[in-house]
Amino acid sequence: MADLNKQMTDFIEYAGKEKGYSIHTIKSYSNDLNRFNQFMKSYTNNLNWTVNMVDRQTIRHFLGKEFEDGFSSRTVARRLATIKSLCKYLHKNGELNINPAAEIKTPKTPKTLPVYIREKSIEELMNCPSDSTLTGIRDRALLELFYSTGMRLSELVNLNLGDFNTAQQCVRVFGKGQKDRLIPYGNLAKISLENYMVKRGIHFIKGDPTEPCFANSRGKRISTRTIQRRVNMYLRQISEGSSLGPHTLRHSFATHMLERGADIRALKDLLGHSSLSSTQVYTHIQPEKMKEIYKQSHPHGE
């Protein structure tokens, strides 16, 4: 009988190395499988349970227990997705004769609209960083590029000079599953980036292509946490809300593009979404905007 710990370890390795999932996703997988492992030890009264003991009813009992423990439907849905991925992997490798998770329906999760800032607030946001310090100049370039491209935070962190085609004003990013895509960026982002490179004493075109695009005070690649902290600080200067963060700029990019008539399929490619359903969440914002315009414009709108 195959060793369960080795099976889970192999699966996590497969997800990280072959599927190219992010560190965040790998941590979530590990946490979810640890929860399931603890549940199975108690459920089977066997510390050395095997995956062949898992059936559809077992998984449903686990999901029910997670709900009883107060976890949200979003978290429980993610736990199921992890178990499904594990079972699919083991079934494909011949370690499970039947995939017990294949037909289990995902719990319904409440749809939440993406948090974004109004277009008229963008200029105010870009003027928040100081233009008299290297950190401020870096942050301005970071905000401009973030909003200009709508890329993910992880993609922004990992940018190198060699990823830029300055002549075409495009940047190559590596997204989920190590899929790369080209995203154009605007003139304001171009000017801010060039200004930042000049202040760093780095030649954008002739510099080392492996040099991090955004660096800390020691010249090392800026951390995800630093970007989160800096972007949150600037957003709170112009807006209120507990959900503000780096993804607010990605959401703002997508929302403003659609408001100005962008094709949703083109937007899907720019955002790096694998399916159109992920992009369609932004279309739900449009009725809210139309209501606002109606209230402001119609004589009896109020």
Q: What is the pLDDT of residues 191-234, one digit of tens each?
A: 999 999 999 999 888 889 999 999 999 999 999 999 999 999 99
In the chain, CATH 1.10.443.10 sits at 119-295
pLDDT of 134-165, one tens digit each? 999 999 999 999 999 999 999 999 999 999 99
What's the CA gap between 64 and 58, in Å, rounded?
Answer: 10
If you average pLDDT over every residue of the chain, what do you get?
A: 87
pTM: 0.66
Q: Give pLDDT, residue 298.
A: 63
Helix 134-149 and helix 224-238: axis angle, to 10°? 80
CATH of range 4-92; options 3.40.50, 1.10.150, 1.10.10, 1.10.3470: 1.10.150
pLDDT of 229-254, one tens digit each? 999 999 999 987 667 888 899 999 99
In the chain, CATH 1.10.150 sits at 4-92
DSSP lists the bridge partners of residue 174 as 180
- The structure tokens listed for 98 are 């039947």
The amino acid present at 74, given as its one-letter code, is R
- CATH fold for domain 119-295: hpI Integrase; Chain A (1.10.443)
* Per-residue pLDDT band at 57 (split at 50, 70, 90): very high
Beta strands in the chain (DSSP E): 164-165, 170-174, 180-184
What's the CA gap between 86 and 32, in Å, rounded?
Answer: 11
| Percent above pLDDT 90 for the chain | 52
Average pLDDT estimate for 273-302: 69
What's the CA gap between 16 and 177, in Å, rounded?
Answer: 9
CB 225 within 8 A of CB 160: no
Q: Is 109 helix (H, G, I), strand (E, B) or coil?
A: coil
The amino acid present at 284, given as its one-letter code, is H
* Per-residue pLDDT band at 1 (split at 50, 70, 90): very low
Q: Give pLDDT, residue 290.
A: 56
Q: Give pLDDT, residue 176.
A: 73
CB 282 within 8 A of CB 254: yes
Active-site positions read 152, 176, 247, 250, 273, 282
The CA–CA distances, whole Å, from 26 to 76, 123, 185, 232, 296 equal 17, 37, 31, 25, 47
Longest distance between any two alpha carbons in the chain, whole Å: 75
